[in-house]
Amino acid sequence: MIARTFALCGADVIVHYFQREERAEGLAERIRDLGVRSCARQADVSSLESVTALREAAALELGPVDIVVSNAVAWHSKIPMLDIPIEEFEAVHRTCVLQAVTLAKVFAPGMIERRWGRFIGISSEVAMQALPNTGPYTAGKRGMDGVLRVLARELGAHQITVNQVAPGWVVSEKDRTDRTERCEAYENALPLRRRGSDQDVANAVAFLASELAAFITGAYLPVCGGNIMPGI
């Protein structure tokens, strides 16, 4: 939905994938049907070499990259932290925290030269909730938060903004397929009394990528119906 929304805003889109080539190629084709350019390219976001190759492929296909959305993460077992294998913590760290570092190292230099750029990390309401059985995920998102806040300070002088969008438990394509859009217990706990959608998340990302948000950097923007409210 984020990729599609960017296309509707007129942006060309590089669709990154790690393993699901067929799905990524299908998405790129649907984006091209919207009248913009798009291609799908594979990369391991935890590898500097792999992300560098992704940048070179993007440059050949579509030109320099001005907007980066960082939203990959390895999943983990939903069990108590003491029972989770160390390897699962390492996998989430590499694909969540190191992802932000590799993407910045590879794409920020070009943005600095052009004096314009956007980095948008997809966080989660869980980063603030620190719920049981979410040890690697919570740690990964909070680690990513630290990386992106430092980047916001380091890249700001070059007119590059760095922000985060933190979705709640939103309705996704899978929910619509499985008819699992409703969950009254969760909805009743939200101030807005309804689940949001992937389109709500995409709208926030598009806003932060636009000139409407040119003076916003270092932000953590919850898109969760008020389920979390960062303190001041």
Look at residue 97 in the predicted model and tell me its pLDDT. Answer: 94
Q: Is residue 118 within 8 Å of 209, Cβ to Cβ?
A: yes
Query: In this predicted model, what pLDDT tens digit does every residue of 197-217 receive, in sequence order?
Result: 999 999 999 999 999 999 999
Look at residue 162 in the predicted model and tell me its pLDDT. Answer: 98
Tell me the two tokens of residue 122.
């997809």
Look at residue 196 in the predicted model and tell me its pLDDT. Answer: 94
Sheet-wide strand order for 160-167? 67-70, 117-122, 160-167, 220-223
Single pTM value for the model: 0.94
**223 vs 204: CA distance, rounded Å:** 8
Look at residue 175 in the predicted model and tell me its pLDDT. Answer: 87
What's the farthest any 2 CA atoms get from each other in the chain? 50
DSSP 17: E
Q: Percent of the chain, pLDDT > 90? A: 92
Helix axes 135-155, 98-114, angle to 10 degrees: 20
Residue 76 has pLDDT above 90, yes or no: no
Confirm whether 186 is a catalytic residue: no
Which band of pLDDT confidence, cut at 50, 70 and 90, is reported for residue 157?
Answer: very high
Tell me the two tokens of residue 109.
């230099």
Q: Would you list the domain boundaries of the chain?
A: 67-223
Q: Is residue 124 within 8 Å of 102, Cβ to Cβ?
A: no
CATH architecture of 67-223: 3-Layer(aba) Sandwich (3.40)
Q: Is residue 39 within 8 Å of 56, Cβ to Cβ?
A: no
Strand partners, 223: 167
Catalytic residue from among 17, 137, 186, 220: 137
**222 vs 165: CA distance, rounded Å:** 6
Query: Please, where are the H alpha helices in the chain?
Result: 2-8, 21-32, 48-61, 86-92, 98-114, 126-129, 135-155, 173-178, 184-188, 198-209
* 175 Cβ contact list (under 8 Å, min separation 6): 181
